[in-house]
């Protein structure tokens, strides 16, 4: 589990945190962009588990090779007109995660949970992975849901780093943190109350946009909370 979480954190950092919109477009246009993106993912994965890298470097390199292959698969799927952005996103992340699970299971031996160069409890590492997921991957999920509601004229729409996106990142992060830290997990729902209240003051279409973001964010936080509490002790 510690190795999987370390690989997964590197994946989240490389696939979301350090993948700006220009790089997303570059990798969709050709192999050089995919190579650069994969290099960043490998570097992030090595950094996330740096304290164990003397033992895990073959798995880190294998994760990079697998990431490169999955990117080619999902870029091809995105070009298919019948494939929605949401479908491709879920396919992409699902295949990435399954590949990391298989690599962690195939690793001979075990490693302690670490966060970069620091030893940490397993539940802390799981919480960091969860908050990074709801914050950054959650932004893409909400964006693709909105594109499904209102298809963009641009065939390759890119999510901007603007105030609504930053608010959503904070909203989901606080929601999951409250669920993990509060005596009652459902207190995490409080993070979504301000958006829901604001949505009620808007016109129908804007109300639907905000409610979609709130519901999707809450559902993602609930899912990640369930996974963390199932596979690791609560924070």
Single out the residue in 68, 101, 117 at which a domain terminates.
Answer: 117
Q: Which of 83 and 73 is assigned the larger pLDDT?
A: 73
pLDDT of residue 154: 67
pLDDT of residue 65: 96
pLDDT tens-digit map of 171-202:
999 999 999 999 899 999 999 999 999 999 99
- Closest by CA to 37, choosing from 9, 12, 18, is 18
Average pLDDT estimate for 194-217: 93
pLDDT of residue 158: 82
Kindly list the distances between the CA atom of residue 99 and the CA atoms of 16, 104, 196, in Å, as whole numbers in the listed order: 18, 9, 37
Task: Give me 76's structure tokens.
Answer: 């091809």
pLDDT of residue 67: 95
pLDDT tens-digit map of 11-53:
999 999 999 889 988 998 889 999 999 999 999 999 999 999 9
Same domain, 143 and 226: yes
Same domain, 86 and 9: yes
- Closest by CA to 3, choosing from 58, 70, 75, is 58
The per-residue pLDDT of the chain, averaged, comes to 91
Structurally, how many domains does the chain consist of?
A: 2
The pLDDT of residue 161 is above 90: no
Single out the residue in 70, 96, 117 at which a domain terminates.
Answer: 117
Same domain, 49 and 103: yes
Same domain, 126 and 94: no
The pLDDT of residue 10 is above 90: yes
Same domain, 127 and 233: yes
> 109 in the Ramachandran plot: left (φ > 0), alpha (ψ -120 to 50) or beta?
left
Measured distance CA(190)–CA(171) in Å, rounded: 10
pLDDT tens-digit map of 164-175:
999 999 999 999
pLDDT of residue 86: 87
Single out the residue in 117, 151, 186 at which a domain terminates.
Answer: 117
The pLDDT of residue 82 is above 70: no
Measured distance CA(220)–CA(214) in Å, rounded: 10
Same domain, 134 and 112: no
Which pTM value belongs to this model? 0.92
Average pLDDT estimate for 107-113: 90
Structural domain span for residue 40: 1-117
- φ, ψ of residue 155 in degrees (nearest 5): -65, -20
pLDDT of residue 235: 44
Whose structure tokens read 């932004």? Answer: 139
pLDDT of residue 153: 66
Paired strand residues for 118: 115
Measured distance CA(4)–CA(126) in Å, rounded: 10
Paired strand residues for 115: 118
The pLDDT of residue 205 is above 80: yes
- Closest by CA to 171, choosing from 189, 185, 159, 156, is 189
Q: How far apart are the first and last CA of the chain?
A: 16
Same domain, 127 and 83: no
pLDDT of residue 81: 61
């Amino acid at each position: 589990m510690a190795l999987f979480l370390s690989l997964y954190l590197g994946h989240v950092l490389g696939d979301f945190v350090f993948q700006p919109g220009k790089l997303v477009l570059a990798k969709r246009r050709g192999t050089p962009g995919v190579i650069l993106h994969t290099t960043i993912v490998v570097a992030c994965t090595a950094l996330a588990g740096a304290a164990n890298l003397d033992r895990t470097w073959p798995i880190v390199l294998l994760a990079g090779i697998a990431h490169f292959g999955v990117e080619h698969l999902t870029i091809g799927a995105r070009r298919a007109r019948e494939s929605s952005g949401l479908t491709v996103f879920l396919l992409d992340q699902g295949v990435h995660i399954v590949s990391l699970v298989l690599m962690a299971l195939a690793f001979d031996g075990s490693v302690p949970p670490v966060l970069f160069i620091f030893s940490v409890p397993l539940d802390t590492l799981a919480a960091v992975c969860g908050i990074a997921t709801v914050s950054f991957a959650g932004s893409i999920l909400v964006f693709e849901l909105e594109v499904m509601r209102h298809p963009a004229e641009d065939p390759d729409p890119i999510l901007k780093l603007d105030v609504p996106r930053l608010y959503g990142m904070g909203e989901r992060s606080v929601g999951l943190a409250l669920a993990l830290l509060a005596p009652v997990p459902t207190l995490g729902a409080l993070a979504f109350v301000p958006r829901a209240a604001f949505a009620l003051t808007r016109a129908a279409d804007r109300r639907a946009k905000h409610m979609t973001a709130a519901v999707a964010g809450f559902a993602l936080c609930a899912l990640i909370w369930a996974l963390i509490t199932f596979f690791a002790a609560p924070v």
